[in-house]
Amino acid sequence: MVGMVDMAGKTSVIEARELKKTFGNTKALDGFNLVVPRGKIVGLIGPNGSGKTTALKSILGFCPLDAGQVSVLGLDPWRQRARIMQRVAYIADTGILPKWMRVTDLLDYVARVHPCFDRDRAVARLAGTDVQLSKRVRALSKGMHVQLHLAIVLAIEAEVLILDEPTLGLDIIHRQQFYDGILNEFFNPDRSVLVTTHQVREIEDLLTDIVFIHRGVSRLACAMTEVAARFQKVRCAEGVRPPGQALYEHRLPAGVEYIFENADPGLLAGAGEVLVPNLAELFVALTQATVREVPVRANDQAGTPG
């Protein structure tokens, strides 16, 4: 599959088209689509069991598909995985580093097997953490384990960073430090990040693009700038209803909130305070709508952010 050019004229680093994967009677992916443009931070957002991890494993060539096409940096992840992994870094949701090794030995090992790894850079980053080179990985706390993994990843000159619930189990300070490291030390206009999470609120300011996944299907794909322009939330007093057909309504202790798509903010303002829904609210509105089924636009189903 040839690399596709996005609307900004930059080559997309990841393309996944109509991915399908079934485990027994469970459809983990059911026609899932995703495009990650170069120089973007794309959030793959969905609850547990929505297909996020299966999608990532398929993209990385760890999980054979029943149907669909995947291209990573113009390469086939199933046939050219070794070449891809020289240019892509991955942090999984569970600790995968060998727990029996000492940190210094682990860095030596990575230096031997990965041609793009800079051991000195990793050591320099660890110097600013509580991770000691003489410690075994199994002796590290969850936070230190993630700091070690991040130091290794940031010392690899990767073009794409894929993160699967990377801060799961971390306290708020370590979560913030982790994402600050990604933003300040990895990301630039030539690099891309794909991150899965269900803790949406703490990273939505970090994202440039979003893809909602629900029951194995890409439910919405757009730039964060489009969210603000396309969706509206209006907070009304009890008994007041805005004009038009809402996607979703949510009752508050004193009033009701409604979420609309492409509504006239001027008309909504007559009913109450008009705001931009956060991503958690928008995900619920698009996947658990109580007012009506929300139609999926053609470009959403295509899964092309931006």
Q: What is the mean pLDDT of residues 276-298?
A: 69
* Domain span including residue 259: 227-293
List, in order, residues 6 or more apart from 178 with CB less than 8 Å away: 146, 147, 150, 166, 167, 170
Q: What is the tens place of the pLDDT at every residue in 79-116?
A: 999 899 889 998 876 567 889 999 999 999 999 988 88
β-strand pairing of 88-91 with 160-164: parallel
Based on the domain organization, do 127 and 234 belong to the same domain? Answer: no
Task: Identify the CATH number of the domain in which residue 172 sits.
Answer: 3.40.50.300
pLDDT digits (tens, 9 = 90+) for 37-73: 999 999 999 988 899 999 999 999 999 999 999 999 9
Looking at the fold, whether 219 and 233 belong to one and the same domain comes out as no
**In sequence order, what are the residues at sequence separation of 6 or more whose Cβ sits closer than 8 angstroms to the Cβ of residue 25?**
none
When pLDDT is averaged across residues 265-291 and rounded to a whole number, the result is 86
Cα 17 from chain centre: 17
Checking if the pLDDT of 5 tops 50, the result is no
The residue among 155, 190, 284, 191 whose CA lies nearest residue 231 is: 284
**142 and 172 co-located in one domain:** yes
pLDDT for 204-214, tens place per residue?
999 999 999 99
E strands in the chain: 12-23, 26-37, 41-45, 67-72, 88-91, 160-164, 192-197, 209-214, 217-223, 231-236, 248-252, 255-261, 272-275
Indicate if the pLDDT at residue 4 is higher than 60. no
Q: Are 66 and 47 part of one and the same domain?
A: yes
Are residues 77 and 148 located together in one domain of the fold?
Answer: yes
pTM (2 d.p.): 0.85
Specify whether 148 is located in the same domain as 250. no
Shared domain check, 260 and 196? no
In this predicted model, what pLDDT tens digit does every residue of 150-194 receive, in sequence order? 899 889 889 999 998 888 777 888 888 888 888 888 899 999 999
Q: Which residues, at least 6 apart from 136, have a Cβ–Cβ distance to it below 8 Å? A: 99, 100, 101, 102, 103
| Tens of pLDDT, residues 212-242 | 999 999 999 999 999 999 999 999 998 899 9
- Sole residue written with tokens 């893809």: 211
- Whether residue 288 contacts residue 246, with contact meaning beta carbons closer than 8 Å, is answered with no
More confidently predicted of 181 and 305: 181
d(CA 91, CA 151): 11
Per the structure, the count of domains in the chain is: 2
**Looking at residue 302, what is its pLDDT?**
40
Whether 74 shows a pLDDT value over 90: the answer reads yes
Please give the helix or strand (H or E) that residue 150 lies within, else none: helix 142-154
Give the residue-averaged pLDDT of 14-31.
94
Q: Find the mean pLDDT for residues 124-130.
A: 91
Between CA 85 and CA 276 the distance in angstroms is 38
The answer to whether the beta carbons of residues 193 and 56 sit under 8 Å apart is: no
251 & 266 share domain: yes
**192-197 and 26-37 as β-strands: parallel, antiparallel, unpaired?**
unpaired
Mean predicted lDDT score pLDDT of the chain: 86
Distance CA 205, CA 41 (A): 10
Distance CA 262, CA 264 (A): 7
